[in-house]
Structure 1
Amino acid sequence: MPGRPIIPPGSPPPLAPYSPGMKSGEALYVSGTLALDAEGQLVGENDATAQTRQVLESIKSVVEAAGGTLADVTFNMIFLKDFADYPKMNAVYAEYFPQPSPARYCIRADLVKPEFLVEIASIAHISNG
């Protein structure tokens, strides 16, 4: 089943050849999302709380553009530059994903640019009717 790209209005220009989201059937795959505004500028320099909020707002816009809500997200892959930022990320994450929360994992990783502290990719399942 071919997918269709999901590109919400106000999406930042991609840093590489990818779509913000790809929907195939009821599955929505949201690309690894960084803290960028509509002009592609970093939001929240040295601030994991602000970056997490920007990342989750961007993911929310992709999910909504595909016809869903954050309640449709079933899995999140979280990447942190530094585990010292885990409590900050987790506090914001809990605001967006209350119980029952999606499955997830969180790892420490070098991100595409040193100024990025948080990256999250998501999978959602959105009913077509």
Structure 2
Amino acid sequence: MTTRTVLSTEGAAKAVGPYAQGTRVGDLVFASGQLPIDPATGAIPDGVEAQTRQSLANLAAVLAAGGASLASIAKTTVFLKNMDDFAAMNGVYAEHFPAAPPARSTVEVARLPRDVLVEIEAIALATGANA
């Protein structure tokens, strides 16, 4: 029987509700939507580019807690407050996935927690030490 493991790391912002930062089931790691909150200070950077960088840093930390990495992501979902920010978000996103990027959906939403501009979730394959 495959077990489900709740993931938690100080390297990413704490969940802002009753959910885990991520879970691992077998060799799959499911990272909850990562907000652009600096885990050390609780600050939210200005602008969609800086917020995308912080969300991806938080995402990487959660994935690492489950034995995965940005390179092992199979699928992401990006939630944007304003689709006019797509190009700016996409530029930063592309820096983190220079070759063989994962499948992705990007959707505009009416509002995100803490009134941030972007949130990113992912499903990845565990390949690291925790695999």
Q: Partner letter of residue 27 of structure 1?
A: L
- Measured on the aligned residues, the alpha-carbon RMSD in Å equals 1.7
TM-score by length of structure 1 reads: 0.90
Query: For residues 42 and 111 of structure 1, do their structure 2 counterparts lie closer, same or farther at Cα, with a shift above 3 Å needed?
Result: farther
Contact 2:13 2:58 in 1 (8 A): no
CA distance in 2, matches of 1:109, 1:33: 15
Residue equivalent to 2:22: 21
Residue equivalent to 1:78: 78
CA distance in 1, matches of 2:63, 2:15: 17
1:20-39 maps to which residues of 2 (within 5 A)? Answer: 20-38=21-39
Residue equivalent to 2:10: 9
Size of the alignment, in residue pairs?
128
1:31-70 maps to which residues of 2 (within 5 A)? Answer: 31-38=32-39, 41-45=42-46, 47-70=47-70
CA distance in 2, matches of 1:108, 1:40: 27
CA distance in 1, matches of 2:82, 2:41: 23
Contact 2:51 2:117 in 1 (8 A): yes
TM-score by length of structure 2 reads: 0.88
Per the TM alignment, residue 73 of structure 1 is displaced from its structure 2 partner at its CA by: 0.4
Contact 2:11 2:58 in 1 (8 A): no
Contact 2:35 2:119 in 1 (8 A): yes
User: SS of the residue aligned with 2:23?
Assistant: strand
CA distance in 1, matches of 2:28, 2:66: 10
Identity of aligned residues (%): 33
Per the TM alignment, residue 110 of structure 1 is displaced from its structure 2 partner at its CA by: 2.0
Between 92-101 and 35-44, the greater mean CA deviation after superposition: 35-44
CA distance in 1, matches of 2:21, 2:38: 13
User: SS of the residue aligned with 2:36?
Assistant: coil
